[in-house]
Amino acid sequence: MGRPPCCEKTGVKKGPWTPEEDLVLVDYVQNHGPGNWRAVPTNTGLMRCSKSCRLRWTNYLRPGIKRGNFSHQEENLIVHLQQLLGNRWAAIASYLPERTDNDIKNYWNTHLKKKVNKAAAGSGAAEPKSGGGRAAAPKGQWERRLQTDIHTARQALRDALSLDPAAAALPPAKLELEPVMPTPQPPPASPAAYASSAENIARLLEGWMRPGGKASSGGSGSSASAVSGGGASGSHSGGTARTPEGSTGTSKAEGVGPAPPAFSMLESWLLEDSMGHGDAGIMGVPLSDPCDFF
């Protein structure tokens, strides 16, 4: 099996994604639906390999992604699942539809593993130092518009690129903001902080992914699986539908549908384990007090 062509290092751009690239990718997925990543670089002109595009979409741009601020319930669930499933992050992520496997993996490696280790070591009462405080990273001007409408965003991007930063960070962006983003906005910021504004894009896409929203792309049945907001469907990467014509990949696809059955088993397991600290948690899972673990 040869390496996929996308991995050949021929003029493929690496490193952090720029707003422009995100915009192109989001625009493309809007029109064609997720999947068929191989075609993305070709059709969009992005100098990224298909893998990179898929990853960017799955971990960052996909609708319905929640970032940062893991709740105790989520932590608890992750710990449980990690103990149960091991480092099968995709499987774990399928029980946390709003989280990506990468996010969970990172969170485990940076926070939970330490906590668990400490707890296992004996004492346990270690407070996570909310360290980096980078969770609520600020947004730039054009990204904020992206929350609202991709066309507006496109215009904002043009503005942002042509205007000086100071000017670009000013009021205009507020105009369309309110309707879509009632949540408080962190202070504006440097382009470097761009990456953490992904949720905006996701939020934007929620609209068109939802029934009633903008077309879920050219007949790609795939969109269904990408709708995370909707229902139980763990969107996760499983949502990466194959192309319409592509057969429904059975593949590993933990995220696509299989979650429910496994979930009830897990639920039972959690129920037993938590011995009735019935705190309604994620997805209705009764969760025990996180302190049990930390």
Partner DNA sequence: AATAACTCCAACCGCAGTCAA
Partner DNA sequence: TTTGACTGCGGTTGGAGTTAT
- What is the spatial distance between Cα 217 and Cα 31, in angstroms, rounded to a whole number? 5
Stretch that binds DNA, among 47-55, 143-151, 154-162, 275-283 (CB under 7 A): 47-55
Considering beta carbons, is residue 194 or 288 the nearer one to DNA? 194
Shortest reach from residue 70's CB to DNA, in Å: 9
Q: Answer whether 287's CB lies under 8 Å from 279's CB.
A: yes
Considering beta carbons, is residue 72 or 277 the nearer one to DNA? 72
- What is the spatial distance between Cα 52 and Cα 214, in angstroms, rounded to a whole number? 25
Q: Verify binding: residue 270, DNA, rule CB under 7 A.
A: no
Helix (H) or strand (E) holding 280, with range, is strand 279-280
| HEC per residue, 199-213 | HHHHHHHHHHHCCCC
Residue 112 DSSP one-character state: I
Considering beta carbons, is residue 59 or 176 the nearer one to DNA? 59
* Number of residues that this document lists for the chain: 294
Q: Verify binding: residue 240, DNA, rule CB under 7 A.
A: yes
Stretch that binds DNA, among 128-136, 140-148, 209-217, 267-275 (CB under 7 A): 128-136
Shortest reach from residue 280's CB to DNA, in Å: 26
How far does Cα 229 stand from its chain's mean position?
A: 12
Stretch that binds DNA, among 15-23, 146-154, 261-269, 273-281 (CB under 7 A): 15-23
Q: Verify binding: residue 247, DNA, rule CB under 7 A.
A: yes
Q: Verify binding: residue 264, DNA, rule CB under 7 A.
A: no
Q: Verify binding: residue 54, DNA, rule CB under 7 A.
A: yes
Q: Verify binding: residue 50, DNA, rule CB under 7 A.
A: yes
Radius of gyration from C-alpha coordinates of the chain: 20
Q: Verify binding: residue 131, DNA, rule CB under 7 A.
A: yes
Instruction: Region of 212 please: left (phi>0), alpha (psi -120 to 50) or beta.
Output: left
Q: Verify binding: residue 187, DNA, rule CB under 7 A.
A: no
Among 44, 73, 237, 274, which residue sits at the site for DNA (rule: CB under 7 A)? Answer: 237
Q: Tell me the sheet residues that pair with 286.
A: 280
Q: Verify binding: residue 192, DNA, rule CB under 7 A.
A: yes
Among 25, 32, 33, 36, which residue sits at the site for DNA (rule: CB under 7 A)? Answer: 36
Shortest reach from residue 173's CB to DNA, in Å: 20
Give the residue from 99, 96, 108, 103 showing the smallest Cα distance to 285: 96
Among 84, 107, 244, 286, which residue sits at the site for DNA (rule: CB under 7 A)? Answer: 107
Q: Verify binding: residue 2, DNA, rule CB under 7 A.
A: yes
DSSP character string of 18-84 = PHHHHHHHHHHHHHH-S--TTHHHHHH--SS-HHHHHHHIIIIISTT---S---HHHHHHHHHHHHH
- What is the spatial distance between Cα 180 and Cα 146, in angstroms, rounded to a whole number? 10
Site pattern 84..103 for DNA (x: CB under 7 A) = ---xxxxx---------xxx
- What is the spatial distance between Cα 173 and Cα 31, in angstroms, rounded to a whole number? 25
Shortest reach from residue 186's CB to DNA, in Å: 10
| Residues near DNA, by CB under 7 A | 1-2, 4-7, 13-17, 35-38, 48, 50-52, 54-56, 58-60, 67-68, 87-91, 101-103, 105-107, 109-111, 128-129, 131-135, 190, 192-193, 195-196, 198, 236-238, 240-242, 246-247, 249-255
